[in-house]
Amino acid sequence: MRRNLTPAQLGDLLDLPINAVLALHRADGSVLQTPVWHRWAGTGFTFYIPAGDRKISVLQRDPRISLIVGESAHPFRAIQVEGRAALHVDGVRDVARRIAGRYVAAHDPGAAVDDYIGADDGVWVELRAVRTRAWDYADAEYT
């Protein structure tokens, strides 16, 4: 296992249209994990939350989050970023389109991106990193 990698050492992992798993804290202290579409912003992640989604109120109450992206085939590249969520409403439709666009193009190329982000604006979230860990198993042989 190769540890302490930089995001650049993960190759195209952060460009692939695969779900990230977002972890946030419920009021009772338990952890809610949910898949999200994301975009790597060079030093952290951004993601979109549609209007009316309860994740918005959860993050307003407690902005501590963790997000992980990992692939399910060798070399099993992965990155985990822990930090705080900053919620934004400015430019939300443009950000949501940039995030959703690559997923729609890969998985439903005939669809309109706006059909996936809905009619109401919601928020976009910037994960302000406190800790980043990245690793892979490129040095391990699997058959």
* Residue 100, token pair as written in the block: 């959703």
CA 87, 81, 101, 32 dihedral sign is negative
pLDDT given at position 118:
81
Sorting pLDDT into bands at 50, 70 and 90, what band is 88?
Answer: very high
Q: How far, in Å, CA of 37 to CA of 68, rounded?
A: 11
Using an 8 Å Cβ cutoff, are 139 and 1 in contact? yes
Domains along the chain with CATH numbers:
7-135 (2.30.110.10)
- The reported pTM is 0.90
Q: What is the DSSP letter of 136?
A: B
